[in-house]
Amino acid sequence: MTRIKICGLSRFPDIEAVNGLKPEFVGFVFAPKSKRYVTPERAAELKRRLDPGIQAAGVFVREKPEFVASLLSDGIIDVAQLHGDENEDYIKRLRELADKPVIKAFRIREERDAEAAQNSGADYILLDSGAGTGNRFDWNLIRNVERPYFLAGGLDPDNIETALKQLKPYAVDVSSGIETDGIKDRSKMAAFIAAVRKEDRI
């Protein structure tokens, strides 16, 4: 079964929507420069309303590991998703502070980026075109990635079926592709999840 992550949630209606649609993961963005940024206090409020069967990932960019670990230890998030230049030493330090899963994101521009992802010590890898650009990268660059991965970058209800047929990722991660005017659109969220579940049944 393909796991689904709905990223960039910031509003209570977003939580209500995912509670009904049941993706495996949601994402709270803690990068201050992002338009989807939430404070730890806001994320805690959202998490309290989230279905306990859905895991919350915190998205960070070059954040201090102690801060990330504090959110993991406090139960505000269940998984840390790293989108900066965090290295293996950073991942090791984060694990020492909080023994929770780590997703490391990689920007795929050439084949050696995919090789770096393949060799990451993180629990999961996420392959993307950039830091929330909403654009698709060249999927041919990851044809040799053998470990399970989250596929991100430019996914939407119209192209997810093609992505699943071609790549068969462990999980898919979507944010801007299910928005209308920068706000999460429940109908697009439902269409995206329905398309993934349909492909799983084939």
Q: What is the pLDDT of residue 132?
A: 55
**Whether the Cβ atoms of residue 38 and residue 58 lie closer than 8 Å to each other:** no
| pLDDT averaged per 10 residues, the chain (length 202) | 97 97 98 94 98 98 97 98 95 96 95 94 92 76 93 94 94 96 96 92 70
Other beta carbons within 10 angstroms of residue 149's beta carbon come to 24
Q: What is the pLDDT of residue 134?
A: 63
Q: Among the options 7, 14, 78, 173, which is catalytic? A: 7
* pTM exceeding 0.75: yes
Range of the domain at 159: 3-201
Q: What is the dihedral of CA 108, 169, 164, 129, to 10 degrees?
A: -20
Q: What is the pLDDT of residue 178?
A: 96
Distance (Å, whole) CA 42 – CA 65: 20
Distance (Å, whole) CA 20 – CA 134: 25
End-to-end CA, the chain: 11
Q: What is the DSSP string of 120-179?
A: --SSEEEEESSSS------GGGGTT--S-EEE-SS--TTTHHHHHHHH--SEEEESGGGE
Q: Among the options 14, 78, 128, 173, which is catalytic? A: 128
Q: What is the pLDDT of residue 200?
A: 75
Let me know if 181 is a catalytic residue: no
Q: Which of 91, 90, 92, 58 is nearest to 74 (CA)?
A: 58
The domain tally of the chain equals: 1
Let me know if 123 is a catalytic residue: no
Distance (Å, whole) CA 184 – CA 116: 32
Q: What is the pLDDT of residue 136?
A: 86
CATH number for the domain including 78? 3.20.20.70
